A and B are shown apart, each in its own frame.
Chain A
Amino acid sequence: MNHILKFNLNGEAVEVAVKSNEKLLDVLRDKLGAVSAKFGCGVAECGACTVLIDDLSVRSCITFAVEVEGKSVVTLEGLQADGPTKIQKAFIKHNAFQCGFCAPGFIMSATELISKNPSPNEEEMRHALAGNLCRCTGYQNIVDAMNEVAEDNKGGVK
């Protein structure tokens, strides 16, 4: 069955026809052109598809599109509408990614964390990002970048 789904995507009202069983990730990528969220597993195990729904990080690959009716969805495209965020700048400075495929998911999870807890300690930060898999980096530069963001939010570093 088809639904006309209305929700807010990256600050703009959108309307799109979806089937009941369609996943949010597929609708974002194939029907709305928001391709920053990636397909990595389809069953919420890798975190590459992470988006924010009403400011909470969600795996869009197992979210039915119809579940976001009336809600606000933010992908990487919307997150940086006013230019790269502090988290993104830190990730750039620290060469935080290699192949980069997991980057959008990490950035969304990190954004949720910092919005709730601006200066997480390292273990809190690792715990918050444990659902995002990266096969390239060994995570060290991601940790370094996030530590810098946390320090900066404390007012510790310029």
Chain B
Amino acid sequence: MKENLKVVGHDAVRLDIVEKVLGAAEYTDDIAFGPNLLHMAILGSPYAHAEILSIDTSEAKKLPGVKAVITGEDYPEKFGLYLKDKSIFPVDRVRQVGEQVAGVVATSYEIARNATKLIKVEYKELPVILDPYDSIAEGAILIHPDLGNYVIEPWLEAQPGTNIGHLRRIRKGDIDKGFAEAETIVEGEYHIPHVAHTCIETHISVSKFSLDGRLTMWNSTQSPHTQRNIMAVALGMNHKDVRVIAPPIGGGFGGKAGISMEVMAAAGAKSCPGHPVKLRWTREEEFYNSSQRTGLRNKVKIGFKKNGKIIAFKHEMFWDVGASAEYGSNVVNATGFSATGPYYIPNVYIDSKACYTNNPTCSAYRGFGYSEFSFGIESTMDKAAKIMGIDAVELRRINAIKEGEGVAYDVPMNPNGLIECIDKVAEEIGWGIEEKSDDPNKIIAKGFASVWKAPAMPANESSSAFIKFSEDGSINVMVSGMELGQGLLTVMGKIAAEVLGLTLDKVRVELPDTDRNPYEWQTVASHVTWSCGNAVKRAAIDAKDKILDTVQRAHFIDKSQLYLEDNGVKCTTQDSFYIPFSDFVITGIQTEHNTWVGGPILGSGMFMPEYTNAMVDPKTGLGGHPMVHYTVGAGAVKVEIDKETGRMKVLKMAEAFDLGKAINPDLSKDQINGGFVQGLGTAMWEQCIFDEKGKMLNDGFTDYKIPTIVDVPRDMNPILVEVPQPDGPYGARGHSEHTMIPVMPAIANAVANGLSVRIVDVPVTAEKIAMRMNDPKYKEEM
């Protein structure tokens, strides 16, 4: 029987839109901390790779207003999420330009900044590695000579004595036999540069050690509990004495996942007990010192049977993770398991290597590596389609993975609507219909890509939730999933409202505060709708049980006859029976003897997938169950290109994702539009450009172009497909990150379709199109 849903599945105004439009949302930097507030500034390294010979802070300490100067001498330990290879402040060497060498706490930011200029550091320059191929070359200088001594998660495979922080291999089937049986083999080599998240709010932490030793942090973060854990362990404190508060966040996109600059603010605060200490990145520091997206050099080789079926697939990925792999190692891991794309393939060979370089450190970025590797796969698929004379969309339909077929690590694929996504996108974009520009100098072309992504998580990630009723029957939902803009508050509110028969105006969902809200691993991986949503649903069911118990005991009606609707309790056998929640959820229900039954209604719930297992055979990647499920989708663009200048305009986009169940259909479509445009930036303009010494040449919005309101297509077509996820709340699974993934290959495929030029290195700029259009090296036959 189909559930008759009253709240879930319907459009809604976001729970947080009013506070944001009225300027009521207090972001971290908006909170008033009073006259005790101190400010912190950081001295960054001018070199990408150098030994630190000496640091002299004496002059800085003498500047009036300076309260503390902190260096690696004070904090020699390493930290990190999965691989502890990162220094709070380095002791012996710097590994990227901008790496923090010292921090100054002072009464004003200006004084702190001026004091950093008085710190004298002696460096000895070391050879600089900026490309993953150089990183793995024989004789390359080791960026982390102590790699073998670092603390590392048991499911990661560091390669001490090399620059490889993690190696994930997949060996499924017999790759040599597969290629031997292939009728057509198509190869390609690709390059993805570093790009930056560019949240409009830069990273910020305000940290305070109170005089009794408690640590409180107000952080712009996606990961309050993870940060609390890292801080408590590092400082040897009880978790209960570390409090991380997550005010509204001005963009995350993975860049505020895990922990980075917050440790420096805490170090500054440790030196000045009783004072809140604010550390806020400048825009330049945001480019250097938060994190960037992993760069990638990859080689794709696909073997096909005559009917278009893929029989063998080899993918070598050399990830440029930058100076630290503390988080990037998991990008490398997750993609190592998944870099086939959404296709069933019997014989798979994947090598995914985390190559240290002296570029800025990389971590999570919306898509978690899938955007990067999908560019190569989807470009190669288009190339293959032309060689075999099969329509590019049809080739994807032929290979689309179906429920039950083995993924790369040979676990059955979850139920999915990939074919439906492909077909709906193809129809919307007018696939196969030739279109001509009114301008004879311009051509119109279309490009297509299909993609997938799984949440990348430790096997025992978990979420939990509390729900508490108040006198009027309204509820506060306490979770530590973070509202990043994706709509988490509205999703969680709706799930609770649906179970409890509440109207949405009775629901408030609280932002994380580790003192008050229960545990959540992190808001990353597009997994909170599924994981945190399950916890909220269970918390609501728990509260519902207590409500029904109370009514059953007071009214002697069996609770199987009771249900929740219209902000109260109703009965299936008595039409007139209705008790509003406001009558009893705090006070209880008065009996005929004037005693009371019940009391304050609370619910709690938790969720952890109990079928996952990250401990695979490191030689084959098989034997475990590292991913919970995949969300699939497809995207296409229609572009207009000037044949002389290469200038390209995207006229139309269509993207479809199978999100299992849309809790908020309108907000899900917003995710598609937003993710598409973020992907468009990386496809057409964005790239961190470094000089030969690792200095970034475009560390501001003037030179690092992100899409503006004039750059985006006028015709945006987000499409939702719903094939339920068996263990998702109301069948839902995540899809917010995925929306970026098809864009780079769809753009490159459109250019190849229109001009027969294959761009293998993003961004696909007008210059590249114009200069390569007639160069036989880049020619791709129609």
Interface residues of A (CB under 8 A from B): 29, 33, 35-36, 38-43, 45-46, 48, 75-77, 80, 84, 88, 91-93, 95-104, 107, 122, 126-127, 129-143
Q: Which residue of B lies closest to A48 (CB)?
A: B200
- Give A46 to B197 CA distance when docked, in angstroms: 14
- Give A130 to B708 CA distance when docked, in angstroms: 6
**B710 on interface, CB distance cutoff 8 Å:** yes
**B428 on interface, CB distance cutoff 8 Å:** no
Q: Which residue of A lies closest to B204 (CB)?
A: A39
- Is there contact, CB below 8 Å, between A140 and B716? yes
- Give A8 to B18 CA distance when docked, in angstroms: 27
Chain A residues with CB under 8 Å of B701's CB are 41, 45-46, 133
- Is there contact, CB below 8 Å, between B25 and A100? yes
- Give A98 to B677 CA distance when docked, in angstroms: 14
Query: Which one of B21, B26, B486 contacts A103 once the chains associate, using CB atoms below 8 Å?
Result: B21
- Is there contact, CB below 8 Å, between B22 and A127? no
Tell me whether A95 and B667 are in contact in the complex, defined as CB-CB below 8 angstroms, given that A46-B701, A130-B710, A133-B706 are known contacts: yes
Tell me whether A101 and B22 are in contact in the complex, defined as CB-CB below 8 angstroms, given that A130-B708, A133-B200, A135-B253 are known contacts: no
Q: Which residue of B lies closest to A140 (CB)?
A: B673
Chain A residues with CB under 8 Å of B700's CB are 41, 43, 45
- Give A154 to B677 CA distance when docked, in angstroms: 30
Instruction: Report the stretch among B244-252, B577-585, B602-610 that lies at the interface.
Output: B244-252
Q: Which residue of B lies closest to A128 (CB)?
A: B709
Q: B543 CB to closest chain A CB, in angstroms?
A: 28
Those 8 A-B pairs whose CB atoms lie nearest each other, nearest first: A100-B20, A101-B250, A98-B485, A138-B677, A99-B485, A36-B23, A45-B701, A138-B673
- Is there contact, CB below 8 Å, between B17 and A95? yes
- Is there contact, CB below 8 Å, between A84 and B22? yes
Query: Which one of B252, B253, B675, B709 contacts A132 once the chains associate, using CB atoms below 8 Å?
Result: B709
- Give A138 to B672 CA distance when docked, in angstroms: 9
- Give A98 to B252 CA distance when docked, in angstroms: 11
Chain B residues with CB under 8 Å of A129's CB are 709
- Give A43 to B282 CA distance when docked, in angstroms: 10
Q: Inter-chain contact count A-B, CB under 8 Å?
A: 158
Tell me whether A39 and B199 are in contact in the complex, defined as CB-CB below 8 angstroms, given that A130-B708, A132-B709 are known contacts: no
- Is there contact, CB below 8 Å, between B22 and A88? yes
**B198 on interface, CB distance cutoff 8 Å:** yes
Main secondary structure of the interface of A (DSSP, over half): loop
Chain A residues with CB under 8 Å of B282's CB are 42
Q: Which residue of B lies closest to A45 (CB)?
A: B701
- Is there contact, CB below 8 Å, between B709 and A135? no
Listed by A's residue number, 16 A-B pairs whose Cβ atoms lie within 8 Å are A29-B30, A35-B30, A38-B200, A39-B29, A40-B283, A45-B283, A46-B701, A80-B23, A88-B21, A98-B670, A101-B201, A102-B250, A130-B708, A133-B706, A135-B199, A139-B708
Q: B540 CB to closest chain A CB, in angstroms?
A: 24
- Give A88 to B675 CA distance when docked, in angstroms: 24
Chain B residues with CB under 8 Å of A92's CB are 13, 17-18, 21
Per the CB 8 Å criterion, the residue count for chain B at the interface is 55
- Is there contact, CB below 8 Å, between B708 and A135? no
Q: Which residues from 8 to 35 on chain B have a C-beta closer than 8 Å to any C-beta of chain A?
A: 13-14, 16-23, 25-27, 29-30, 32
Query: Which one of A38, A98, A131, A132 contacts B674 once the chains associate, using CB atoms below 8 Å?
Result: A98
Q: B459 CB to closest chain A CB, in angstroms?
A: 30
**B702 on interface, CB distance cutoff 8 Å:** yes
Chain A residues with CB under 8 Å of B14's CB are 95
Tell me whether A141 and B250 are in contact in the complex, defined as CB-CB below 8 angstroms, given that A43-B700, A45-B701 are known contacts: no
Chain A residues with CB under 8 Å of B27's CB are 38, 101
Chain B 693-709, CB within 8 Å of chain A: the 1/0 string?
A: 00000001110001111
Chain B residues with CB under 8 Å of A98's CB are 484-487, 670, 674
- Give A93 to B12 CA distance when docked, in angstroms: 9
Q: Which residue of B lies closest to A91 (CB)?
A: B21
Q: A127 CB to closest chain B CB, in angstroms?
A: 6
- Between A80, A92, A129, A131, the greatest number of chain B beta carbons within 10 A of the residue's beta carbon is seen for A92
- Is there contact, CB below 8 Å, between A39 and B667? no
Chain B residues with CB under 8 Å of A96's CB are 17, 21
